[in-house]
A and B are shown apart, each in its own frame.
Chain A
Amino acid sequence: KQEVTQIPAALSVPEGENLVLNCSFTDSAIYNLQWFRQDPGKGLTSLLLIQSSQREQTSGRLNASLDKSSGRSTLYIAASQPGDSATYLCAVTGNTGKLIFGQGTTLQVKP
């Protein structure tokens, strides 16, 4: 049974800092891994999708990596801003097509 874990559960950093969010999964047989952002009480915004054959994806100040063999992904946020404050969720998709989510990391960027 696939399980996804995100550490830490919460993170507070000063504005301008570079930071890394971690995601681990127990079954390496995944089709893809997706990172989402969720603002309080809102839906999920897709940030990056990494196919199982890829090692990383970049979008602006965000860079996500994937190491299937070790069951790990990281989301790197460069030069963090207060507007980056949100909960970040990672999710993996296997052959069933359903997304299996971690519990999320709640990020606070202080001005």
Chain B
Amino acid sequence: DAGVTQSPTHLIKTRGQHVTLRCSPISGHKSVSWYQQVLGQGPQFIFQYYEKEERGRGNFPDRFSARQFPNYSSELNVNALLLGDSALYLCASSLVWDREAFFGQGTRLTVV
């Protein structure tokens, strides 16, 4: 059974550009969450979606947005990229919102 898959694995963007990151949860999982991890820090919560509805949002600017599709996959969009957005972006899925979370391998975003 496939785990959480994220695409792409690496991405280089220029300041001011837009980026879309994708996540496919484990089959049967209805909750998807996004986290940002900068070097040397623990992951920080960005968004949680459950049954296609936004269930929570972290302390990130409006340049960050996300959605969950009918098949429970999810996209994270970041507009007007800043150098400080360079990080590892992690997607996690769980059966329901308060159960064990399983993470993908992450997308390494570099903004130059």
Chain B residues whose C-beta falls within 8 Å of the C-beta of A66 in the assembled complex:
none
Which parts of B61-105 form the interface with A (CB within 8 Å)?
Answer: 88, 90, 92, 97-98, 100-105
Grouping DSSP codes into helix (H, G, I), strand (E, B) and loop, the B interface class, with mixed when no group exceeds half, is strand
Chain B residues whose C-beta falls within 8 Å of the C-beta of A102 in the assembled complex:
42
Q: Mark B22-61, 1 if CB is under 8 A from A, else 0.
A: 0000000001010100001111110010100001101000
B108 proximal to A (CB < 8 A): yes
Cβ distance B89 to chain A, nearest Cβ, rounded Å: 10
Binds B, one of A12-20, A40-48, A69-77: A40-48
Grouping DSSP codes into helix (H, G, I), strand (E, B) and loop, the A interface class, with mixed when no group exceeds half, is strand
A100 proximal to B (CB < 8 A): yes
Chain A residues whose C-beta falls within 8 Å of the C-beta of B45 in the assembled complex:
98-100
In the complex, how many residues of chain A place their beta carbon closer than 8 angstroms to a beta carbon of chain B?
24
Chain A residues whose C-beta falls within 8 Å of the C-beta of B101 in the assembled complex:
34, 46, 91, 93, 99
Chain B residues whose C-beta falls within 8 Å of the C-beta of A91 in the assembled complex:
42-43, 101
Instruction: Check A46–B103 contact: CB distance below 8 A.
Output: yes
Bound together, the chains give a CA A101 to CA B104 distance in angstroms of 16
Chain A residues whose C-beta falls within 8 Å of the C-beta of B6 in the assembled complex:
43
Bound together, the chains give a CA A89 to CA B100 distance in angstroms of 14
A96 proximal to B (CB < 8 A): yes
